[in-house]
Structure 1
Amino acid sequence: MASHTGNARLRLCDARDEGAALMIIDVQRAIDDIGYWGERNNARMEENLEDLLGCWRGGNGHIVHVRHFSHTPGSPYRSGQSGAEFKACVTPRQGERIVTKHVSSAFVGTDLEAWLRRHGVSRLVVAGVATAHAVSTTVRHAGCLDFRVTVAADACATFAVRDRNGRLWDAEQVHALSLAVLDGTFAEVTSTHSVVQHF
């Protein structure tokens, strides 16, 4: 098994550094469909995402908006539905990169890696939805590709999970465990405040 422990010791990305990118994953109207997903954790995610975007837009770093267009029947993320639209708090501006994916990893079936390499990006700050799914999968993939990754924990959110034995793991438990697995192996997990303080 490959080790990525070096990622744990990186310094936080600098938005004024063109080698850094803020990546926001799957923050679309679909996440507000409580009937489909159930309750999520972290009601302040949108506020923290706005703080990260405000910081990045004041510098020279790249901003990447990842959106999910699901092929699953009934998914609120299906292209053409209102759920597939970006939430207002993260609406992309002109010049900001949009990547469309169809699976959990933002690197599968997209030109994301090639685009990052072409623009000299080696460091990522990642936020979005869901911590246990697209965020975790993309962060692990980025780590395996030798990107240095920071996750803004309080700018991420996830949903409850019921296991095959019927036990319900609430969203906060799923969120915390997902971040614990990433931290120190594939990424440094920190807060929005800590990220912003370094700019």
Structure 2
Amino acid sequence: MTTALLLIDVQQGFDDAAFWGPRNNPGAEANMRALLRAWQDRRDPVVLVHHDSVTPGSPLRPGQPGNDFKPELDGARPDLVFGKKVNSAFLGDVDLDAWFKTRGITSFVLAGIQTNFCCETTARMGGNLGYDVTFALDATFTFDLEGPDGTVMTADELYRATATNLHGDRFATVKSTKEILTLDR
């Protein structure tokens, strides 16, 4: 069985702290890179997705330097690269579900940015579509977020909430990069 690596929105625009605010997990990019290297060494499928924001002023808008992939993806040899304008990679410019099915891919490891938005949404949809999803929690990060009542949830709280949501509702298996890389595959 082939397991794809799905790297979501690993883009330079997320380095704009003035736009996004405080983030968590400063080791996320190194873990993303470790996963990418392992998949490429095994010649397993790698999919890169980038967010093409339509929000004015977003650093992720096409044509802006922030839309480019982060240096951690330099040297990547992806099997598929495409953009999306919404949270789920399954609703992007390419029919990811059809792409996976055509290749007999029934499982994927997911990493990228933001933990609680595009990564969680893609994991949930993948689970709903019947994929065996492994969520590489420590290869994701997010930012503090203000709720409707004005209180702020920290990036770490949102990170833990995503892990709990995915695990508790069985959308995905949440693992560390180390656990994923030491699995006998």
TM-score by length of 2: 0.94
Residue 157 of structure 1 and its aligned partner are, at CA, apart by 0.5
Residue 192 of structure 1 and its aligned partner are, at CA, apart by 0.2
* 2:48 match: 65
Whether 2:76 is the aligned partner of 1:93: answer: yes
Partner Cα distance (2:39, 2:176) in 1: 15
After superposition, the C-alpha distances for 1:41-79 in whole angstroms (9 at most, x for unaligned) are 000001111111111111131000111101111111000
- Higher RCO (Cα < 8 Å, 6 or more apart): 1
Residue 147 of structure 1 and its aligned partner are, at CA, apart by 0.6
Cα distance, 1:47–1:177 mapped onto 2, change above 3 Å: same
Q: Is the 2:39–2:46 contact (alpha carbons within 8 Å) kept by the matching residues of 1?
A: yes
* 1:108 match: 91
Partner Cα distance (2:15, 2:78) in 1: 27
SS in 1 for 2:111: strand
SS in 2 for 1:79: coil
TM-score by length of 1: 0.88
Question: Which sections of structure 1, spanning at least 5 residues, go unmatched?
Answer: 1-16
Cα distance, 1:120–1:92 mapped onto 2, change above 3 Å: farther
**Displacement over 6 Å in runs of 4+:** none
* 1:6 match: none
Q: Which residues in structure 2 correspond to 1:122-137 (within 5 Å)?
A: 122-137=106-121
Residue 96 of structure 1 and its aligned partner are, at CA, apart by 2.8
Q: Is the 1:65–1:92 contact (alpha carbons within 8 Å) kept by the matching residues of 2?
A: no
| Percent identity of equivalent pairs | 38
SS in 2 for 1:58: helix
* 2:146 match: 162
Partner Cα distance (2:127, 2:64) in 1: 32
Residue 113 of structure 1 and its aligned partner are, at CA, apart by 1.1
Whether 2:163 is the aligned partner of 1:179: answer: yes
Q: Is the 1:122–1:147 contact (alpha carbons within 8 Å) kept by the matching residues of 2?
A: yes
Residue 21 of structure 1 and its aligned partner are, at CA, apart by 0.1
Q: Is the 1:99–1:112 contact (alpha carbons within 8 Å) kept by the matching residues of 2?
A: no
Larger displacement relative to structure 2 (134-143 or 51-60):
51-60
Partner Cα distance (1:91, 1:149) in 2: 25
Aligned length: 182
Question: Which sections of structure 2, spanning at least 5 residues, go unmatched?
Answer: none
Partner Cα distance (1:165, 1:107) in 2: 31
Partner Cα distance (2:113, 2:76) in 1: 20
What root-mean-square deviation, in Å, do the aligned CA atoms of Structure 1 and Structure 2 show?
1.2
